Structure 1
Amino acid sequence: MTSAYAIEVEALTKTFGTLKAVDGLSFTVEYGSVVGFIGPNGAGKTTTMRSLVGHVRPDAGRVHVAGRPYRDLADPLGTVGAVLETGAVHPGRSGRNHLRILARQAGIPRRRVEEVIDGVGLGQAAGRRVGGYSLGMRQRLALAAALLGDPAILMLDEPANGLDPEGIRWLREFLRGLAAQGRGVLVSSHGLPELALMIDEAVVVGHGQLITQQPLADLRKLGGGPTVQISVPEPDRLAALLREQGHQVLECAGPIVTVAGDDARSVGRVAFDHGIGVHRLLVEEPSLEEAYFRLTTGKDSIR
């Protein structure tokens, strides 16, 4: 490999007319990791990804894949695969024939087509006309096309669009498997609960600027600490008792009392000692979604 990083973005700036879509953005993606690229609509994510594959020319800054600009790669398809949109595919052509044409144009052996069809789970759908594909099947076809060159780097923009829960679980395991092989994966998605199950770290952007790049575990902590949620028939009484005993009650909404910390045993004991029945008791860990909203409030772009 020609670089320690799969992807390097340094001080990237891009303006469209009077709109600065990306403003001095810098981040990196390491090989062997899945990095989530998240931010409000119009935060500059798609412009950044399109810059990385040469579809957009930056006004300033540096965007490298495998240590060099995309245009300088000796083997672009073997270096980076990108799914930035489902793309225009002839509706009367089968998925398999679409992939065969792409492979022939790139000088890729025909057997690779069958490998990626199996790899992305197209199965028998590969023989059907693309015009009859669901959005989820089109996403799998686009992913298969990106994988034709067996690239070391993969960039995906909203890859879970149109996938059912089974498909989303498959995608998560598939991308984790690619990272385990030493590949670098950058994923842009608004599906934060699903994204949190697949990424190692996140790059959070707003107004085209970097807000933070952190490992997922560290980023979750920005969403606040863990909480105990206890559902009882006498929430106001329990909340008062918990405060008397030094617990920090964060909220009392309906039957649910939310307490700071993860000491579920102590919270439950207060209810038991005072004869208050417990319907449900659980510990909620801080979420990526909560951290994201705290970081990006007021940072959405007009684009």
Structure 2
Amino acid sequence: METIPEAETPGSDPWLAFFADRGHTGVRRIGAGVEGVVYSLGEGLAAKVWSGRPPGDIEVTRQVYADIARHPLPFATPEILDVEDHEGVTVTYERELPGDSMRGDSAHEAYERRLLPRHNDALLGVLRGLACVPGTDAMRRMTVQGDDRPLWRDHDCFRSALAALVARAAARHGAVLAAQLPDFEAGVERTRKALHALPDAPVAAIHGDLVPPNIHVDAAGRPVAVLDFGFFTTAGDPAFEAAVTAAIWDMYGPHAEEHTAELTRLFAHELGYAPATLTTYQAAYALMTYDLFGLGDRDGHFRWCTEQLRRNAVFSA
């Protein structure tokens, strides 16, 4: 989720008046992302106005939040306190999470060439924490962004569920991606085979979108909250979380490729994940998300996925 620093007036955003009419004072819009817009309501309460998610899915998300929150973690995670339907739009009321974004999105903020130790430590802390939360039935019932069914439906292991999603995603608009990548179909098949060949792994909570704005830190740089679950939240191999986090930490900066390689090495060393496993998951992530925001070279995420696949040793072998 991208933080929005400027304040809006009720005339420019009808939701400000909506929450004010319900007795909340000092309402302000604090963030927006793929799944909706978030407002601070004061007194430790926040509201999220969801876009494109039916109420049934919200109840699954609510259970996932509860499953995560019942585990003692060194950082806070969201909890849905109440759900309201307003003219077909789902609104959730949640506790407001502490801290400030670790840093802005790399599309809007220049990242230094050198990775900062405090950022590395914060990422490792979050990855270790989430890896200790067991995967649950509710997490398996989550539908990831862009797909039409729960990720785990008809599957009994994470790697086969991902391989099936890679096939579905490649079939959505694969011809557009194939125009950018020679030997596209063979690369998809190599990725699916590599996924099926992965060893058994623990099944833990997966956030799936640990970009810097979704990690809140305190003044000392320690992670105090992780927010905005839902984009690719599921149950799965913690190595998938590490692989994706290494790739999306810096997506658009001038040193993005270096940062991905360095974080991949760091996570492999510190967390004990096989580098080949991380590379496989990074190829799968690019194939599963390439078309979620737009198609063609004018879309930043599409370009990023194409570049990831061009240099990925599994896809482009």
Q: TM-score range by the shorter chain?
A: under 0.3
| Between structures 1 and 2, the one with greater helix share | 2
**RCO greater where, 1 or 2, for CA within 8 Å and sep 6 or more?**
1
| Between structures 1 and 2, the one with greater strand share | 1
What's the TM-score once normalised by structure 2's chain length? 0.23
Larger radius of gyration: 1
